[in-house]
Amino acid sequence: MWVTIGIAGSLFAGMLAILWFGYQEMEEQRQQQSDEVLATAPAARPGHCLLCEAPLRRPASTDEVVFEIEHRIDAELQDIAQVLRAPSGGLQRLYRA
């Protein structure tokens, strides 16, 4: 019985070793392929698209984003105020059930 357990254990360890070495070989091949692709890839230019080399927009600053959001909120509030100031028929036309 101990011999059977020993043989089964050694076979299991051998299968794990085969899997490990196969995985390592696949990773080495993947690394070589990615190195080849990167070697032939064009260099990236900062601020330009990688595909068509068109200039990219610069990222907006935090102040610009806040200003744009405040501007949109003010426009929405003005629209709401106009609807509320309209004659009573305005609300009925806007919110029909």
pLDDT (tens digit, 9 = 90+) per residue, 39-93? 888 788 888 888 888 888 877 788 999 999 999 999 999 988 888 776 665 555 5
Q: Residue 89: its pLDDT value, please?
A: 58
| pLDDT for 97 | 46
Identify the residue with better confidence: 57 or 13.
13
How many Å apart are CA 57 and CA 67, to the nearest integer?
A: 18
Q: How far is it, in rounded angstroms, from Cα 47 to Cα 56?
A: 5
CB 10 within 8 A of CB 16: no
Please state the rounded mean pLDDT for residues 6-22.
95
The rounded Cα 82 to chain-centroid distance in angstroms is 41
Q: In which band, very low, low, confident or very high, does the pLDDT at 94 lie, cut at 50, 70 and 90?
A: low
> How far is it, in rounded angstroms, from Cα 43 to Cα 47?
12
